[in-house]
Chains A and B, each alone.
Chain A
Amino acid sequence: MADQVITRKRCTADYAYPFAQWDLRLYLDTHPDDREALAYFRTLCEKMPDTYACHGTMAPDGTCDHWHWIEGPWPWEFEANAIDGKICSCNDSCCDCQKGGR
């Protein structure tokens, strides 16, 4: 969006909504099954979508019964770094990775 490329005039809501969304996000990190908080987060993200606070957190199908953002594996973990389902990129048949089906 052009708004994100060119710094435009901002109003109070431009700061207030992302701040509220972010605070709720921090709460949901430790209370991932709090339905009231999940519903409120969803409401705030519908009022102002595409903010830094909403980014990457909403499930594509819009389901809202759990805070999936915290689910593993996290990027620094071994399991998160498979490409095309494979962690080992060698094709050697006697490699331990191949034997383990990884």
Chain B
Amino acid sequence: MIIYAKRDMKNPIENLNKIFDSRIRLGIMSALIVNAEVNFNELKELIQVTDGNLASHIKTLEESDYIKVEKGFIGRKTNTTYSVTKAGEKAFKAHLEALEQMIKSME
């Protein structure tokens, strides 16, 4: 990590978002960025995690206001869908840029 200081560059690791450290949360965000809305079961299928695990990561993202939760029904079954918020989109883009910067600075 010292390498960056030597190059007189702002440490890009500061721009990496801690919330996106987890692969599961990164996965949820990636899916929501390209789809208007995704429901719980689709997310579970895409990321291949257990219900409890997925739910806790969703909660973290929801608490940071990165995703919106909408509870609805299909017939009698509950259908909870998720979509990304403006803040979430911004944070995700910033995270991507930070990743890009890090890789560039290491080359």
A and B are interacting partners: no
* A residues at B contact (CB < 8 Å): none
